[in-house]
Amino acid sequence: MNHALILPILLPLVTGAGQLLFYQAPFALQRLLGFASTFWLLLLGIWCLQIAGTGEHILYHAGDWPAPFGIVLVLDRLSAIMLALTAVLGVCCLLYASNGSDKRGAHFHALFQFQLAGLNGAFLTGDLFNLFVFFEILLIASYALLLHGGGRARSRAGLHYVIINLTGSALFLIALGTLYGLTGTLNMADLALRVADAPPQDVPLLAAASLILLVVFGIKAAILPLLFWLPRAYSAASAPIAALFAIMTKVGIYAILRVFLLVFALGEEPIGETAWGWLWPLALLTLALGGVGVLGSDSLRTLTAYLVILSVGTLLATISFATEASLGAALFYLIHSTGMAAVFFLLADLLGQQREEGYDRFSATGPIGHRWLLGSLFFIAAIAMIGLPPFSGFVSKAWILQASAQEPQGLWLWGVLLAAALLTLIAVSRTGSSWFWRPGDMANPYPLERGPLTLVAIMVGLNGLLAVFGDPVVGYLELTAQQLLDPHAYIAAVLPDASAAAQEISP
Amino acid sequence: MELLYAITLGVLTTCGIYLLLRARTFTVILGLTLLSHAVNLYLFASGRLVAGGPAIIGLTERSADPLPQALVLTAIVIGFAMTAFVVVLALKAAVELRNDHVDGENPDEDRA
């Protein structure tokens, strides 16, 4: 058993606790600790990518209790990708926050570490109740981070965000209670086996539990009827926090993948079918609403929040085909869209600070300082975000379209996806022309901070690199999709005895 | 016992959801609390209701399932912390927004 596997959870947790305990220590030290932990997480993420790349499921039995009695952490390719993505995003957000916005509220760095611990835990755990606990950890941290900096808009958005997530947690527990009551286990692999041979009278209740779980993950991921908290919350959060929240909706998508491709996927008539049936139309509607919202937003941060919704719709619509090609394409798009949403939240702050009036609101028409430099950056970032070559958005969208072309319903996705992309193009070019082109030069521009500017440029550059070195990434993601569609391998890794017995019984 | 338990759960959940849909933060928090009580009881019942059964195998003929008890304990702790947080947040919002509406604004403000 490799004890390093628990480090992605333990390291930020201990760091965060230390930062809370010694909050009187100099701020520079707190910041340094936060950076040290996050960089270690990045290294751990790369290490995870490497060891998960062999295709094995790497297990960590907490307290050495054997599954399904104890809690297991399971690292497979999908978890490794999410861990690495979180770490990269964490480093970028922390770097951006260290330009001074981390001083605007108490305990920023400790909360940031708790957030990372919750995210990493959610990606690693192989137990449904443990998933709930890590959801709560990341949510508690996110409630406080959302309010970081204070102000009326944040309190208002925070109240909505907290209440809807508390309701979601209550629903999560109801689903867990139902599942435990019917199967007597909460280990995902064990659940998958027991759900598959559940007696017929239990099937409706299990289906109900699966749909409640869909609602819970739908709240986290922001699927159509459950997404109205998102634009206000994301646009109220301070820039580095909003950028980190770009991964939060992806936690919901990760949970959907995990639960509906593993727990409810087995058996002759998989119970997850009902949920998949709901997911497809809702995802398309989410995608369409995201496009309309992008066009109708009144500030760059709201626009970015709707871009997040758009990306969730695209992802879930692609995932709901559940083929190898579509899952691979969706994962590529997940990496791309998380990065670009973060870039746009940071960009909104960067540009807003240079504008003479209105911060990031579209109604303000004042000039902007350094317009050539910032304008070029915005132009390149916009190209990357919309999905034009040579950036990874183009690769991912081309792959999604290619994968969905083989499906009978794929044409729907083609239509909605391309229409939404057109709406985004219009909205972003309107922003560009009204901010950089029309107002002319500013007489006395505000001083430009080089650090954040370089950081955002590097993040856009990373997106370009993802396209340039796309081939190994695509290969890795294809293998990830294969692994995801083979739940038996996961179960065999977690429960070697039970799955051997099950295979003996069913010839 | 099962019937009483089920009715209690139903009443708690109904009241919780009704209060959750109200417009002011205080009632919404009350609703959340009732809902979380209902959820905790529900989780507890998922290990089946056993009277006089210790959570150790072999002492009596029927033993209680200890796992839901542990789950409920976790859920209670988390729910308690969350309620405390949301109370503080609601107070903060009430002070900053000068009203206690969930949407942060009083819809009848102009009429008064």
What is the per-residue pLDDT for A474? Answer: 92
Q: What angle do CA A141, A290, A336 make, to 5 degrees?
A: 65
Residues of B whose CB is below 8 A from A166: 32, 36, 82, 86
Q: What is the pTM of this model?
A: 0.94
Tell me how far apart the alpha carbons of residues A404 and A393 are, in angstroms, rounded to a whole number.
16
Cβ A287 vs Cβ A383: under 8 Å: no
ipTM higher than 0.85? yes
B32 — contact with chain A (CB < 8 Å)? yes
Is the Cβ pair B45, A147 closer than 8 Å? no
What is the per-residue pLDDT for A300? Answer: 93
Is the Cβ pair A180, B46 closer than 8 Å? yes
What is the per-residue pLDDT for A291? Answer: 94
Supply φ then ψ for residue A471, to 5 degrees.
-65, -50
Interface test mutation site (partner B, options A65, A128, A164, A166, max chain B beta carbons within 10 A): A166
pLDDT one-digit tens code per residue, A292-317: 999 999 999 999 999 999 999 999 99
Tell me how far apart the alpha carbons of residues A305 and A117 are, in angstroms, rounded to a whole number.
24
* Strand locations in chain B (E): none
Q: What is the dihedral of CA A83, A88, A90, A95, to 10 degrees?
A: 170
Per residue, the 3-state secondary structure of A314-381, as one string, reads: HHHHHHCCCCHHHHHHHHHHHHHHHHHHHHHHHHHHHHHHHECCCCCECCCCCCECCHHHHHHHHHHH
Q: What is the DSSP string of A442-483?
A: -SSPPPPPHHHHHHHHHHHHHHHHHHHTHHHHHHHHHHHHHH
What is the per-residue pLDDT for A360? Answer: 86
Tell me how far apart the alpha carbons of residues A59 and A88 are, in angstroms, rounded to a whole number.
23
Within chain A, which residues score under 50 in pLDDT? 504-507
Is the Cβ pair A177, B74 closer than 8 Å? no
Tell me how far apart the alpha carbons of residues A15 and A116 are, in angstroms, rounded to a whole number.
11
A205 — contact with chain B (CB < 8 Å)? no
CB atoms within 10 A of CB B112: 5
CB atoms within 10 A of CB A412: 16
pLDDT one-digit tens code per residue, A345-389: 999 999 988 888 888 888 888 888 888 899 999 999 999 998 888
What is the per-residue pLDDT for A506? Answer: 45
Please identify which residue in the block is written with the tokens 């051997």. A500
Long-range contacts of A78-81 (CB under 8 A, 24+ apart): A78/A254, A78/A257, A78/A258, A78/A331, A78/A480, A78/A483, A78/A484, A79/A48, A79/A52, A79/A123, A79/A124, A80/A45, A80/A48, A80/A49, A80/A51, A80/A52, A80/A53, A81/A49, A81/A331, A81/A335, A81/A476, A81/A477, A81/A480
What is the per-residue pLDDT for B36? Answer: 94
Query: Which pLDDT tens digits describe chain B residue by residue (112 residues)?
Result: 889 999 999 999 999 999 999 989 999 999 999 999 999 999 999 888 888 878 888 888 888 888 898 999 999 999 999 999 999 999 999 998 888 888 877 777 665 5
Q: Which residue on chain A is closest to B27 by alpha carbon? A: A163
